[in-house]
Structure 1
Amino acid sequence: MEFDALVAEGLAVPVEGWDFSWFQGRATEQRPSWGYARLLAGRLAGARSALDIQTGGGEVFAWALEQAACHPSRLTATESWSPNAVLANHRLGQLKVGVVRAADDEGLPLRDGVFDLVSSRHPVELVWSEVARVLRPGGTFLSQMVGPGSNRELYEFLMGPQPDDPSRSSQVAAADAAAVGLQLVQVQEEALDVVFFDVAAVVHFLRKVPWTVPDFTVDRYHDRLAALHAQLDQEGQFLCHSQRYLIELRKQ
């Protein structure tokens, strides 16, 4: 397919929610060995109340709830972006989850010490003092987070060499959490293969995960996208690596 047609296709796909099924046959991403959603399902089965922060369209939280042996009696999720909140309300409402609008970088509109379990998959930003505040003593925080340099090969192809953001490291997360009384239980880290097979998948990915290239537009990166299209035509794929870590904390 021609470059312009592929770019137009990547621009036309809706970006709401965390459903990545459109990428089938166009891109692949290796999954972490720890199986975050399965772990979350196990934690949910043992909790009386649970909160999922930055739930997106509620896809992962809903799956984990459906797999859990039993559900907490109190279930809440937060989401900041209105289109995602609409999807989450529809999906999670069927599972009796209350969805609350909350900014990623501000306080949670929830009472102190309410939740046995707080979870978040790929949070944009966490206010650790708020996570600690809403957890009960002895409560658990479980998250799969994006580490520094995730998909470096892709964003540096477009932007040139970039420094890592040290604030995204597991060491910084553990230290910030410890400062508000959250004790580290475990952390695991992995680099995972991400493979793109056409430029439409790249365009859609960069729209759906906008922090990868924060100023991304097709016009701004037209020439580099054209160069990537030419490389894909020649080599058949573009390989990069996502950085993921699992972190589990307990409120002292």
Structure 2
Amino acid sequence: MNQNQLFEFLIDESQKPFTGWDFSYIEDTGRLDSEPLEWSYASYLLPYLRQAQTMLDMGTGGGEFLTALQPLPQDTYATEGYAPNFPIARRNLKPLGVNVRMVENDETLPFDDHQFDVIINRHESYYPWEVFRILKDDGQFITQQVGGSDMAELNEWLGADKDDGFSHWNLDYAEKELKKAGFHIIKKYEQFPYTRFYDVGAIVYYLKAISWQIPDFSVEKYMDQLYELHRTIMEKGYIQFKSHRFFIAAEKAQVHPKE
């Protein structure tokens, strides 16, 4: 198979369907790899989960990560804002007793004041004041976020605009917003790990799943740039780009400050 034939083959392979929030098609097969983070989101939150009676998982995707955290607190809820994922999350989580809610507006969540002991959030948007409202006094909010500069180098390679209105989204900004809402910051980290791709098909699969990275992405529009990426990978064996992640564990103070 020559280079052109391999390129066409890998592009065809990238058309496999993506469901929930499951990247196993390219991760478990070693086609995408990421530099380890300096923290473990799960290791930090598990002790709080085991002691909690009520818990919320914001942006559960297809429920894959939450399922792995079993046993779950007695009253566990999850939200999902992406319509195609919602039925997948319900199918996966209902047998575990998890109540899944569709949420379209971070500022109006369908929960009572002081409802949850722990709220977890992995790569999902949130409104600090609303999280504060539904969390019990001394409750924990634990989040890992994708920062605003995530994979900007990939956009540059493809000649795609990265000015998506999230360039400000980093640890410093998120920490200040949580403090304004009344939270006390317990732990925080920020890192720019490399994400490595071993073939162009994995890049296309990734961009189709992460549709907000390049909103106008299509193979046809970026064919020439993708082929150049393919050539680079064939020469070097891989290509890598800087990601952006940060982690915050915060505790709800008992007195809400004035906004």
- TM value normalised by structure 2: 0.89
User: Which residue does 1:131 correspond to in 2?
Assistant: 131
State the 1:201 CA deviation: 0.2
Q: 1:16 aligns with which of 16, 19, 22?
A: 19
The C-alpha deviation readout for 1:74-122, integer Å capped at 9, x for no partner, is 1000001122111211222122111000015442111111001011101
State the 1:167 CA deviation: 2.8
Matches within 5 A, 1:1-252: 1-10=5-14, 12-23=15-26, 24-66=29-71, 71-103=72-104, 105-123=106-124, 125-159=125-159, 162=162, 165-252=166-253
In structure 2, distance between residues paired with 1:138 and 1:14: 42
| Contact 1:120–1:144 (8 Å) recurs in 2 | yes
| Contact 1:38–1:64 (8 Å) recurs in 2 | no
- TM value normalised by structure 1: 0.91
Runs (5+) with no aligned partner, structure 2 = 254-259
Aligned pair count reads 246
In structure 2, distance between residues paired with 1:36 and 1:87: 23
In structure 2, distance between residues paired with 1:161 and 1:16: 26
Identity of aligned residues (%): 33
In structure 2, distance between residues paired with 1:161 and 1:85: 30
Greater C-alpha radius of gyration: 2
In structure 2, distance between residues paired with 1:196 and 1:174: 31
In structure 1, distance between residues paired with 2:48 and 2:248: 13
Runs (5+) with no aligned partner, structure 1 = none
| Contact 2:188–2:248 (8 Å) recurs in 1 | yes
In structure 1, distance between residues paired with 2:44 and 2:66: 11
| Contact 2:149–2:167 (8 Å) recurs in 1 | no
2:67 partner SS: helix
1:168 partner SS: coil
